[in-house]
Amino acid sequence: MTPLNIKKIFAILEKQNPAPKTELLYTSVFELLISVILSAQATDISVNKATRLLYPIANTPEKILALGEAGLILYIKSIGLYPTKAKNIIKTCAILIQAYNSQVPNDRKALEALPGVGRKTANVVLNTAFGHPTIAVDTHILRISNRIGLANAKTPLKVEQQLLGIIPKKYLNNAHHWLILHGRYICKARKPDCADCKINKYCDYYNVNKIK
């Protein structure tokens, strides 16, 4: 894909949604971190449903740590992998209290050292909370980046590296959200809504399949 077409794609996405944001509900960086940990292999809707009940009761490392695993599970048991997530969250809260004065670190290495936090989760926090120009490659971004022709790679890390290398700097802060939302609502896995897609004329999948 040409640099000009890449620029056009993101200009269109920006015009559609000038101020994109995550669909996870949060009021602090800590809440965002916990929500993103919970969102692994789960929908934002299911996470929000759980945290609507959890955060009014416990929304700091100290308060969640005080709940303990058993207490936390009562709030998150509707979310997939909740036993492991509860363990990781409790451990993460303890580390945040002991090592970071209960603050979420603005540092990739420190974030990835927290239990339950991998590169994708760290990227979400770095981008959404701290404004780092990075991209968290989830299943949506992995799929549509290859489908559209923005990337040609099978692993999240390689797709991330390719996207960071081609997306114009002016769009990098918001590219993560634009791509996720596009994959979630338009460029869906089984039946992409190509007819309603505003960037279809620049899309490899659309043009190769001559979709009308």
Q: Of all residues in the chain, what percent are helix, strand and coil, respectively (each to 5)? A: 65, 0, 35
Token reading at 141: 């971004």
Q: Which of 15, 49, 120, 193 is catalytic?
A: 120
**Residue type at 195?**
A
- The band of 207, judged by pLDDT with boundaries at 50, 70 and 90, is confident
- Is residue 201 annotated as a catalytic residue, yes or no? no
pTM attached to this predicted model: 0.92
- The band of 79, judged by pLDDT with boundaries at 50, 70 and 90, is very high
Question: Has residue 143 got a pLDDT over 80?
Answer: yes
Euclidean distance between the first and final Cα of the chain, in Å?
A: 21
Q: Which of 21, 138, 191, 210 is catalytic?
A: 138
Q: What is the pLDDT of residue 208?
A: 85
Q: What is the pLDDT of residue 210?
A: 65
**Residue type at 36?**
V
- Is residue 8 annotated as a catalytic residue, yes or no? no
Would the CA dihedral through 52, 56, 61, 64 be positive or negative? negative
Q: What is the pLDDT of residue 90?
A: 98
Question: Has residue 116 got a pLDDT over 80?
Answer: yes
Cβ-contact 156, 142 below 8 angstroms: yes
Q: What is the pLDDT of residue 111?
A: 98
SS3 for 25?
Answer: coil
Place of tokens 């492991």: 84
**Nearest one of 82, 109, 115, 81 to 96, comparing CA atoms:** 115
How crowded is residue 120: how many other Cβ atoms within 10 Å of its Cβ? Answer: 19
Q: What is the pLDDT of residue 211?
A: 52
Q: Between the CA of residue 157 and those of 9, 24, 162, 200, 205, what are the distances in Å? A: 22, 23, 9, 25, 22
| Helices and strands, number each (H, E), in the chain | 11, 0
Question: Has residue 212 got a pLDDT over 80?
Answer: no
SS3 for 137?
Answer: coil
Region label for 25, one of left (φ > 0), alpha (ψ between -120 and 50) or beta (otherwise): beta
Q: What is the pLDDT of residue 59?
A: 97
What are the structural domains of the chain?
3-20+134-208 (1.10.1670.10), 29-128 (1.10.340.30)
Question: Has residue 165 got a pLDDT over 70?
Answer: yes
Q: What is the pLDDT of residue 164?
A: 97
Q: What is the average pLDDT value for the chain, to the nearest integer?
A: 95
